Amino acid sequence: MKAPLKSLSLLAMMLLGAWLTVYLRPTQSLADFRPSIALASLVPTTFGDWKEVSQGQAQIVDPLQKAAVEASYDQTLARTYTNSQGYRIMLSIAYGKSQRGELQLHHPELCYPAQGFEVQSNRVGSLATPYGVVPVRRLETQRNHDRTEPVTYWAMVGEQVVLGSVQRKLVEIRYGLRGLVTDGLLFRVSSIDTAPNNGFDQQAAFASALLAVLTPTDRQRIAGI
């Protein structure tokens, strides 16, 4: 019964969202009431044990098509970092002022298969930090049996972390009832690692170190904590 109930819940959210779109027509952007965001300056190139390396040096190809991503968002940031042990993390952050229609966040479990990856595992987890716990989603992906890429990500819609379409729709509806169009941010880290659990541990260390050097305002904007 759980699957049908979930499907009915999602259908109800979609219908309610469609009703809001047609009859309430939110016209004000939540982003207009929040501090502006500049991803390139917000995220430092060096922090903790991590420093940025060029994509050429890293020899890691981002599986998302750059042109398509940039067309969907107001800002994107893609960097590769390495630590003192030589472990490399790919960071991708995308921000959109509006979450309407085609401008909605593109979640990795959909984007990776479009680039030839198989999602072998998709589970919800948490990232514990001194500032609070961030809900995250962790994927194990593989392409052509020669590239294993664990992925950790979370999405911000407005001021709340969401990990699925139902959650996202509920948040959008809540803002829509106030006449507001939500903004959205996707934070993703990944690495090439044949031991996915090690990859997730490294990604957690990276994300925690990054959040630790952000201002409280920026940390709230990036991770809701």
| pTM (2 d.p.) | 0.81
The Cα–Cα gap between 130 and 35 comes to 24
For residue 213, what are the CA distances in angstroms to 34, 106, 131, 200, 219? 21, 27, 12, 20, 9
pLDDT tens-digit map of 105-159: 778 998 899 889 999 999 999 999 999 999 999 999 999 988 999 999 999 999 9
Q: Which pLDDT belongs to residue 176?
A: 84
pLDDT tens-digit map of 43-58: 999 999 999 998 654 4
Residues above pLDDT 70, as percent of the chain: 80
- Is the model's pLDDT at 65 over the cut of 80? no
Q: How would you class 192 by CB atoms within 10 Å of its CB: exposed for 0-12, middle for 13-18, buried for 19 or more?
A: middle
β-pairing, 75-82 with 88-96? antiparallel
Q: What is the band of 167 on the pLDDT scale with cuts at 50, 70, 90? A: confident
- Is the model's pLDDT at 90 over the cut of 70? yes
Helix axes 165-176, 2-19, angle to 10 degrees: 30
